[in-house]
Amino acid sequence: MSLNANSADIAFTFKGGMLPMTVMELSSADPEHIKCQLSGKLSQSPAFFQHTPVVLSVEKLDEPHLALERICAVCRDHKLLPVAVRGGAEPVRQSAWALGLGWFAPVEEGRAKVLECVSATATADATNEEPDVQEETVSAVATRLFRGTVRSGQQVSAAEGDLVVIGAVNAGAEVLAAGSIHVYGALRGRALAGIHGNTKSGIYCRELEAELLSVAGNYKRLEDIDSQLLGRAAEVHFVQEQLEIKPLG
C-alpha cells in the first residue's frame, strides 16, 4: 500500500502569500464620527466601496474598550468588509476574535521583532571583513526581473526587494514589491510598493494609467490621480504623509 496521499483525498493546502489589504487607520472610536466620514468618502469614490476587505487599525486609539461591533457594522453598511484588527489592548483582541475577525500585533511591535533578529545577525557576523560586498549581493538577489506583459488576473511579486517589469501591466493585473516597482511600459493595473511598510519605496512607469497605486499601504485610485499625469511617464513616492505623483524625469 502506498504511503503517498492520493491527491483526490486532499481537501486543502496551506500556503503563504502576500495579499494586498487596505488598512483603515482609526483616529476616532466614535462610530457616528466614522459613519459621517465614510458617507463622504462613498460619494467621492463609490468604486472603492465595493465589498473591499479592510484591516481596522486601532493603534492610534488610547482606549482599551471600544465599540468594535458597532464600528464593524458601520463599515459593512458602507460596503467595506472588516477582516481583522491591528493593535489594541487585550480586550480589543478578545473582541476581535469574538466577532470572527483576525488580530495583528501593532506595527511597532512587529518591527521591533524584526530589528531584534537583524541585530542578532549583525552581532554574529561582526567578524565578517566584507560586509559591503555581502549587502550588495543580497540586494541584487532580492530584485526580481519580469520580462513580458503582466496580464489581467495575473499577480507578480518581489517578496524581498524591487520588482522590475520589462513590459506592460494590464488592467486587472497586479504587481507587488517589498521595495520599489519599475515598469518599462504602460501601468494600467494595480501597483503596490513597500508592502512590508517601507515608506522609502517608489513606483516608476513609462505610462501611467493605474487602477490603484500604493506605497507602504497609502493608496490612490485612478479617479484620485490628476488627469494631466495620465498617459505620461510618472513616479510615485510617499511624502509628508501622502502619496506624491509627479512626471518622471
What span, in angstroms and rounded, lies between the C-alpha atoms of 61 and 140? 40
Lowest average pLDDT, out of 7-11, 17-21, 23-27, goes to 17-21
Q: Tell me what the mean pLDDT of segment 242-249 comes to.
A: 87
Residues 81 and 161 in one domain: no
Residues 100 and 185 in one domain: no
Quick check: is 120 in a domain? no
149: CATH: 2.160.20.70
Give how many domains the chain has, as a whole number: 2
Residues 222 and 171 in one domain: yes
Q: Tens digits of per-residue pLDDT, 74-117?
A: 999 988 899 999 988 888 999 999 999 999 888 655 444 434 44
Higher pLDDT, 132 or 248: 248
Q: Tell me what the mean pLDDT of segment 5-26 comes to.
A: 71
Domain boundary at 59, 92, 108, which?
Answer: 108
Among 169, 219, 173, which Cα is nearest to 193's? 219
Quick check: is 175 in a domain? yes
Residues 91 and 151 in one domain: no
Q: How many CB atoms lie within 10 A of CB 208?
A: 27
Residues 177 and 84 in one domain: no
What span, in angstroms and rounded, lies between the C-alpha atoms of 219 and 8? 42
Q: Tens digits of per-residue pLDDT, 153-171?
A: 888 988 888 999 999 999 9
Residues 226 and 174 in one domain: yes
Domain boundary at 108, 130, 156, which?
Answer: 108
Q: Tens digits of per-residue pLDDT, 142-151?
A: 789 999 999 9
26: CATH: 3.30.70.260
Instruction: Tell me the whole-structure pTM to 2 decimals.
Output: 0.52
Residue 127 confidence (pLDDT):
42
Q: Tell me what the mean pLDDT of segment 108-129 comes to.
A: 44
Residues 91 and 156 in one domain: no
Burial 219-231 (b: 16+ CB within 10 A, else e): bbebeebeeebee
Quick check: is 6 in a domain? no
Higher pLDDT, 215 or 134: 215
Higher pLDDT, 8 or 51: 51
Please, which residues have CB within 8 angstroms of residue 7's CB and are 6 or more apart in sequence?
none
Q: Tens digits of per-residue pLDDT, 173-226?
A: 999 999 999 999 999 999 999 988 889 999 999 999 998 899 988 888 888 888
Instruction: Return the C-alpha cell found at 24.
Output: 483603515
Containing structural domain, residue 211: 142-247
Quick check: is 94 in a domain? yes
What φ, ψ does residue 94 adopt, rounded to 5°?
Answer: -65, -40
Q: How confident is the model at residue 7 (pLDDT cuts 50, 70, 90)?
A: low
